[in-house]
């Protein structure tokens, strides 16, 4: 195999993988609402894949580190995701949908943590180029939210499962296009010890706790933003474009991320991300009816996801030995899953009882808590 970086093959996988996220984050709640489910049931159904994210990545991460067959896990997970989700055409009852959400998510969440390790293995000493590959995931997200937003203005949301199936097929095909790569085998130093010992090093647990809190604060955004905006009078096409604007800001951030990381420490980037996120939730909860404010709040997605995710990936890649990269990435995904699931559940139960403003205000306080933990316990190191 050539040692040249397979830029387009890696980018193509990210494109389809995050196109699926672009198809689910804005529209899954709308689809369940279209089927007639209440806000509480919608919150529960959306929480199920996130709960599977707490379990699945750790199982697959251990298997990837133990076997070294990460690409095989990616391909197997992508295919099983498609096959399990196809069961949605059998029935749309609550119990059946809950089963479909659990089964397909178990395999879907096997994929990305292992693929992140493969990407960094291809990058070798060029890790700062990660953001320029990952930005194609953001482009895939934009294509999905804009395209599906327009599609659902023309067609019924009954077409939604077909759209997701098509995107999942793209993930399967692109996974077979990617060449394999293994991390350089740097042996653990005696000071590092095993994976659990590495978790006890200063700042590591604080980082993972802040990851969980960040995703907890994202609960109302990913579960109810589209319904919130629809209630304020925005069309589905406009809602898709607003989601796309946030991810466009994320792409611009990814393009300059290498320079930001050269100038600022990971701790500083993460701290800024949490503080900006706290402000963003207050704007969305209270002033989303004003289009200029809503546009500004969506641009803040560059921090809420972009800078946070890129800095987090660098932190994990730097903090663990190569044979433990899969477990480090899996723990990141699992903590994000715990936070995301709890965020979907609390927002589902509070949306009608407390309202949008208070639900987003709680999310803002959670993001502030993550900022306090980062400022207090994480060490100020550069990537």
pLDDT at 308: 94
DSSP-derived secondary structure letter, 194: S
Kindly state whether residues 156 and 254 are assigned to the same domain. Answer: no
Kindly state whether residues 175 and 201 are assigned to the same domain. Answer: no
Kindly state whether residues 137 and 212 are assigned to the same domain. Answer: no
CB atoms within 10 A of CB 367: 25
**What phi and psi, each to the nearest 5 degrees, are found at residue 36?**
100, 15
Global pTM exceeds 0.85 = no
Q: How far apart are CA 241 and CA 217, in angstroms?
A: 23
Kindly state whether residues 161 and 44 are assigned to the same domain. Answer: yes
Kindly state whether residues 176 and 209 are assigned to the same domain. Answer: no
Q: Domain boundary at 156, 180, 204, which? A: 180
Tokens of 172: 């399967």
Q: How far apart are CA 324 and CA 333, in angstroms?
A: 14
Is 101 within 8 Å of 35 (Cβ atoms)? no
Q: How far apart are CA 85 and CA 164, in angstroms?
A: 9
Kindly state whether residues 14 and 81 are assigned to the same domain. Answer: yes
Distances, alpha carbon 58 to alpha carbons 27, 257, 298, in Å: 28, 28, 32
Q: How far apart are CA 82 and CA 77, in angstroms?
A: 9
pLDDT at 99: 97
Give the residue numbers spanning the domain of 292: 195-382
Angle at 228 between CA 362 and CA 86, to 5 degrees: 105
Query: Is the sign of the CA dihedral 332, 265, 317, 22 positive or negative?
Result: positive
Q: Does residue 319 fall inside a structural domain?
A: yes
pLDDT at 186: 52
CB atoms within 10 A of CB 24: 19
Q: How far apart are CA 203 and CA 59, in angstroms?
A: 24
pLDDT at 185: 58
Kindly state whether residues 77 and 107 are assigned to the same domain. Answer: yes
pLDDT at 379: 80
Q: How far apart are CA 132 and CA 126, in angstroms?
A: 11
The CATH number that applies at residue 53 is 1.20.1250.20
Q: Does residue 189 fall inside a structural domain?
A: no
Helix (H), strand (E) at residue 353:
helix 325-354
Query: Is the sign of the CA dihedral 278, 286, 219, 104 positive or negative?
Result: negative
pLDDT at 286: 97
Is 79 within 8 Å of 95 (Cβ atoms)? no
Is 20 within 8 Å of 171 (Cβ atoms)? yes
**What phi and psi, each to the nearest 5 degrees, are found at residue 184?**
-60, 135
Q: pLDDT tens across 26-59, in order? A: 899 999 999 999 989 999 999 899 888 888 888 8
CB atoms within 10 A of CB 272: 18
Which residues touch 120 (CB under 8 Å, ≥6 apart)? Answer: 127, 130, 183, 317, 325
Q: Does residue 263 fall inside a structural domain?
A: yes
Is 240 within 8 Å of 148 (Cβ atoms)? yes
Number of domains the chain is built from? 2
Is 4 within 8 Å of 198 (Cβ atoms)? no
pLDDT at 3: 59
- Buried b / exposed e along 60-80 (16+ C-beta atoms within 10 A): bbebbbeeeebbebbbbbbbb
pLDDT at 2: 41
Angle at 144 between CA 120 and CA 330, to 5 degrees: 35
pLDDT at 107: 95
Kindly state whether residues 220 and 331 are assigned to the same domain. Answer: yes
Q: How far apart are CA 238 and CA 220, in angstroms?
A: 19
Which residues touch 67 (CB under 8 Å, ≥6 apart)? Answer: none
Kindly state whether residues 141 and 256 are assigned to the same domain. Answer: no
The 3-state DSSP class for residue 178 equals: coil
Q: How far apart are CA 138 and CA 22, in angstroms?
A: 9
Q: Does residue 171 fall inside a structural domain?
A: yes
Q: How far apart are CA 290 and CA 299, in angstroms?
A: 15
Place of tokens 């599977």: 52
Q: Does residue 186 fall inside a structural domain?
A: no
Of 242, 337, 325, which is closest to residue 289 (Cα–Cα)? 242
Q: Domain boundary at 180, 209, 224, which? A: 180
List per-residue pLDDT tens for the chain, 383 residues long. Answer: 345 889 999 999 999 999 999 999 889 999 999 999 998 999 999 989 988 888 888 888 888 888 889 999 999 999 999 999 999 999 999 999 999 999 999 999 889 888 988 998 898 878 778 888 988 998 999 899 889 988 988 888 999 999 999 999 999 999 999 998 877 655 554 445 677 777 777 789 999 999 999 999 999 998 899 999 999 999 888 998 999 899 899 889 988 988 998 899 999 999 999 999 999 999 999 999 999 999 999 999 999 988 998 899 889 888 887 677 778 888 888 888 889 889 989 998 999 899 999 999 999 999 999 999 999 998 876 55
Distances, alpha carbon 37 to alpha carbons 29, 94, 307, 348, in Å: 9, 8, 35, 12
């Amino acid at each position: 195999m050539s040692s040249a970086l397979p830029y387009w093959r890696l980018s193509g996988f990210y494109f389809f993988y995050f196109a699926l996220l672009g198809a689910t984050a804005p529209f899954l709640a709308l689809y369940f609402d279209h089927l007639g489910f209440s806000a509480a049931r919608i919150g529960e159904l959306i929480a199920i894949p996130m709960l599977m994210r707490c379990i699945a990545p750790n199982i697959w991460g251990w298997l990837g580190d133990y076997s070294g067959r990460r690409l095989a896990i990616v391909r197997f997970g992508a295919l099983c995701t498609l096959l399990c989700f196809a069961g949605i055409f059998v029935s749309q009852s609550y119990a059946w949908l809950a089963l479909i959400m659990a089964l397909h998510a178990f395999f879907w969440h096997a994929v990305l943590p292992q693929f992140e390790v493969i990407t960094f293995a291809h990058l070798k000493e060029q890790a700062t180029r990660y953001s320029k590959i990952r930005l194609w995931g953001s482009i895939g997200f934009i294509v999905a939210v804009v395209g599906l937003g327009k599609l659902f203005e023309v067609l019924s949301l009954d077409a939604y499962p077909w759209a997701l199936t098509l995107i999942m097929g793209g993930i399967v095909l692109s996974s077979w296009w990617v060449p394999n790569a293994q991390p350089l085998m740097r042996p653990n130093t005696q000071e590092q010890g095993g994976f659990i010992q590495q978790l006890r090093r200063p700042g590591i647990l604080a980082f993972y706790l802040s990851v969980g809190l960040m995703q907890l604060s994202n609960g109302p955004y990913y579960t109810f933003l589209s319904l919130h905006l629809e209630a304020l009078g925005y069309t589905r096409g406009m809602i898709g474009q607003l989601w796309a604007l946030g991810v466009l800001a994320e792409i611009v951030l990814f393009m300059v991320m290498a320079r930001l990381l050269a100038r600022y420490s990971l701790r500083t980037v993460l701290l800024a991300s949490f503080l900006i996120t706290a402000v963003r939730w207050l704007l969305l909860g209270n002033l989303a009816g004003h289009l200029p404010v809503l546009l500004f709040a969506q641009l803040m997605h560059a921090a809420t996801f972009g800078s946070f995710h890129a800095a987090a990936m660098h932190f994990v890649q730097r903090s663990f030995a190569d044979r433990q990269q899969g477990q480090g990435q899996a723990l990141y995904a699992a903590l994000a899953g715990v936070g995301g699931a709890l965020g979907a559940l609390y927002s589902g139960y509070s949306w009608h009882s407390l309202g949008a403003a208070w639900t987003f205000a709680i999310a803002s306080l959670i993001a502030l808590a993550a900022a306090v933990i980062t400022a207090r316990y994480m060490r100020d190191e550069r990537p």
